[in-house]
Amino acid sequence: EAGVTQFPSHSVIEKGQTVTLRCDPISGHDNLYWYRRVMGKEIKFLLHFVKESKQDESGMPNNRFLAERTGGTYSTLKVQPAELEDSGVYFCASSRRGVGNVLTFGAGSRLTVL
């Protein structure tokens, strides 16, 4: 099966600009997660979709971040306006519903805000 695909792999933007990251999960995976890793720190949870519904968005830093998963397929994460501290690697992961919750990750989208 195809893996989790993320686009773009790297984005460099200026403070105040907008960036939209996209994630295509594995087909049939109802669970979709966004995580972020800032250099040298832990991988932090941002939010969790089950199909098109936001199950848990407790990790979203503030209202500059907007995640959507229309139709329960791919997801987008928009940062508007971007700030310097938003720099990091944004990972998307997906999983089937069920016991264990083993995640399959994408390669990540590296965001650099200048």
Partner 1 sequence: SQQGEEDPQALSIQEGENATMNCSYKTSINNLQWYRQNSGRGLVHLILIRSNEREKHSGRLRVTLDTSKKSSSLLITASRAADTASYFCATDAAGANSKLTFGKGITLSVRP
Q: Of the listed pieces 14-22, 48-56, 62-70, 71-79, which binds partner 1 according to CB under 8 A?
A: 48-56
State the nearest-atom distance from the C-beta of 65 to partner 1, in Å: 17
Other beta carbons less than 10 A from residue 75's beta carbon: 23
Give the closest residue to 4 by CA, choosing from 24, 22, 20, 21.
24
State the nearest-atom distance from the C-beta of 16 to partner 1, in Å: 28
Task: Answer yes or no whether residue 105 interacts with partner 1 by CB under 8 A.
Answer: yes
Other beta carbons less than 10 A from residue 23's beta carbon: 26
The single residue among 41, 62, 63, 71 that binds partner 1, judged by CB under 8 A, is: 41
Other beta carbons less than 10 A from residue 102's beta carbon: 9
Residues sharing a CB contact under 8 Å with residue 72, sequence separation 6 or more, in sequence order: 30, 49, 51, 52
Task: Answer yes or no whether residue 88 interacts with partner 1 by CB under 8 A.
Answer: no
Using only C-alpha atoms, what is the Rg of the chain?
13
> Which one, 17 or 87, has the nearer CB to partner 1?
87
Task: Answer yes or no whether residue 73 interacts with partner 1 by CB under 8 A.
Answer: no
> Which one, 17 or 107, has the nearer CB to partner 1?
107
